[in-house]
Amino acid sequence: MLTLTENAQTIISGIVGSSQVPETGGLRIAQDAEGAGLHVAVAELPEADDRVVEAAGAKVFLDPSAVVALDDKVLDATATADGRVDFAIDQQR
């Protein structure tokens, strides 16, 4: 199952907390329409078939395709001074 680094937990909580979604909200990761990559967006709730990954209050909703792609991965995140967030995916060790 996908795990989140402490940086990712903090950044995801900040993104969701500063958006206009309720406390049930999280960051949703889904396969993009072409199937070539992943799409990330803030969501109020998980979709019915999403898997929810929660760590230290940070919630990530994974669509079924993302579950398969990220099953044995670690999600990390960094924020730049100008507010841009970069996500990185690595193998679990």
Q: Answer whether CATH 2.40.50.840 is correct for domain 3-91.
A: no
d(CA 91, CA 93): 6
Please give the chain's pLDDT, 93 residues, in tens: 899 999 999 999 999 999 999 989 999 999 887 767 889 999 999 999 999 999 999 999 999 999 998 999 999 999 988 989 999 999 987
pLDDT at res. 42: 96
Taking residue 41's Cβ as centre, other Cβ atoms within 10 Å add up to: 10
Q: Are the C-beta atoms of residues 18 and 83 closer than 8 Å to each other?
A: no
Q: Please report, for the chain, the start and end positions of each structural domain, with discontinuous segments joined by +.
A: 3-91
pLDDT tens sequence across 32-51: 877 678 899 999 999 999 99
Taking residue 42's Cβ as centre, other Cβ atoms within 10 Å add up to: 16
Cα torsion 43, 27, 53, 50: sign = positive
> Given the DSSP bridges, would you call strands 51-55 and 58-62 parallel, antiparallel or unpaired?
antiparallel
